[in-house]
């Protein structure tokens, strides 16, 4: 407590505090965190002021890019994080490895092309779709990952709540839109039309990646209408890369291997509810 007789000192704000405020306002958190440490390093190395500032700018840009990638990954809502590093191409010889690696460079997204992964359950379609989605996030694209059933559900809900336009508009901003598991559940007529409209609006405007366990000639059974399926396939396959994955189920191969190791039969009935759909294909 100061008494009235004590001389009052003018409030001095330390330059560090002011600098901290400015850097916060300018959205330069890495500058704020690192400037003292980098100043000491620069003094030790006898680096001049431009070099000192250059080091800080580089750190800020690296950190900002990392934060942006993390944000895009969060926004994409991947069911899991999977990358091509953990994909064993030797286990899936039917898959065109060089095409997958080329797709991971993301030029197909810049060219607004599509990609469809086809094959039975367990062959790694979702893994590859997640990995390509992740690569797209890392290259600066705004990705959305969903299953066909969840997307149709979301579209129907949006339609009922009179916000279908807003959802369609949002979907048009993501590139690529990854639609996993098309074909596991057949759609109602309304569901089919809503999904068709999504693909229609993306045609030649934004990339779509679809995975399906159903060959093209059976897609009518998923969409219920031959006319609509024809129009949809026409758009989706106009500029398309097809990934055929017709090998053995990786899950089955893994449990067979485990069985050989332990001498026990694989327990096919202990699949999770999510994987229960495998039994369809």
**Where does this chain bind ligand ADP (CB under 6 A)?**
82, 86-88, 91-92, 121-127, 250-251
39/163 Cα distance (integer angstroms) = 52
Dihedral angle at the C-alpha atoms of 180, 186, 249, 240, nearest 10 degrees? -50
Considering CB distances under 5 to 8 angstroms, the limit depending on partner class, which of ligand ADP, Mg ion, none binds residue 206? none
- Strand spans (E) along 76-219: 114-118, 144-147, 177-182, 208-212
Nearer to ligand ADP, 183 or 191 (CB): 183
Considering CB distances under 5 to 8 angstroms, the limit depending on partner class, which of Mg ion, ligand ADP, none binds residue 251? ligand ADP
Given a contact cutoff of 8 angstroms between Cβ atoms, the answer to whether 212 and 117 are in contact is yes
| Nearest residue to 80 via CA among 127, 116, 114 | 127
Given a contact cutoff of 8 angstroms between Cβ atoms, the answer to whether 182 and 222 are in contact is yes
The b/e string for 107-119 (b: 16+ C-beta within 10 A; e otherwise) is ebbeebbbbbbbb
Considering CB distances under 5 to 8 angstroms, the limit depending on partner class, which of Mg ion, ligand ADP, none binds residue 196? none
Size of the site for Mg ion (CB under 5 A): 1
Considering CB distances under 5 to 8 angstroms, the limit depending on partner class, which of ligand ADP, Mg ion, none binds residue 114? none
Nearer to Mg ion, 42 or 126 (CB): 126
Given a contact cutoff of 8 angstroms between Cβ atoms, the answer to whether 133 and 178 are in contact is yes
159/182 Cα distance (integer angstroms) = 21
Contact between 229 and Mg ion by CB under 5 A: the answer reads no
156/114 Cα distance (integer angstroms) = 24
What is residue 209's three-state secondary structure? strand
Nearer to ligand ADP, 113 or 211 (CB): 211
Rounded to a whole number of angstroms, the minimum distance from the CB of residue 12 to ligand ADP is 60
What string marks each residue from 101 to 140 as x (binds Mg ion by CB under 5 A) or -? Answer: -------------------------x--------------
Which DSSP category does 139 fall into? T
Measured in residues, the chain has a length of 281
Nearer to Mg ion, 57 or 81 (CB): 81
Rounded to a whole number of angstroms, the minimum distance from the CB of residue 258 to ligand ADP is 13
Rounded to a whole number of angstroms, the minimum distance from the CB of residue 222 to ligand ADP is 16
Q: Taking the CB of residue 42, how many other CB atoms lie within 10 A of it?
A: 19
Rounded to a whole number of angstroms, the minimum distance from the CB of residue 118 to ligand ADP is 10
| Nearest residue to 99 via CA among 91, 90, 108, 88 | 108
Residue with the closest Cβ to ligand ADP? 124
Rounded to a whole number of angstroms, the minimum distance from the CB of residue 125 to Mg ion is 5
Rounded to a whole number of angstroms, the minimum distance from the CB of residue 114 to Mg ion is 18
Rounded to a whole number of angstroms, the minimum distance from the CB of residue 55 to ligand ADP is 40
Nearer to ligand ADP, 100 or 195 (CB): 100
Binding site for Mg ion (CB under 5 A): 126
């Amino acid at each position: 407590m100061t008494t009235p007789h004590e001389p009052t000192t003018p409030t001095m704000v330390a330059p560090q505090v002011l600098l901290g405020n400015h850097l916060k306002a300018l959205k330069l958190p890495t500058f704020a965190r690192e400037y003292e440490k980098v100043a000491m390093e620069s003094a030790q190395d006898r680096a001049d002021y431009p070099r000192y500032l250059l080091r800080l700018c580089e750190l800020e840009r690296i950190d900002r890019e990392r934060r942006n990638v993390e944000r895009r990954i969060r926004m994409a809502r991947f069911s899991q994080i999977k990358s091509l590093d953990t994909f064993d191409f030797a286990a899936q010889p039917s898959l065109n490895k060089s095409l997958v690696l080329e797709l991971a460079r993301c030029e197909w997204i810049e060219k607004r092309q599509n990609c469809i992964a086809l094959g039975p359950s367990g062959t790694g379609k979702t893994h590859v779709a997640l990995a390509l989605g992740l690569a797209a996030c890392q290259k600066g694209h705004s990705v959305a990952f969903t299953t066909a059933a969840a997307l149709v559900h979301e579209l129907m809900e949006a339609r009922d709540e009179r916000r279908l336009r807003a959802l369609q508009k949002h979907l048009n901003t993501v590139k690529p839109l990854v639609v996993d598991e098309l074909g596991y559940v057949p759609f109602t007529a309304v569901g089919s039309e809503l999904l068709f409209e999504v693909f229609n609006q993306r045609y030649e405007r934004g990339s779509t990646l679809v995975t399906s366990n159903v060959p093209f000639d059976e897609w009518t059974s998923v969409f219920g209408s031959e006319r609509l399926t024809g129009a949809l396939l026409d758009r989706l396959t106009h500029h398309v890369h097809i990934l055929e994955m017709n090998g053995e189920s990786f899950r089955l191969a893994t449990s067979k291997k485990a069985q050989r190791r332990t001498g026990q039969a694989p327990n096919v009935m202990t699949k999770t509810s999510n994987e229960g759909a495998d039994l369809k294909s």
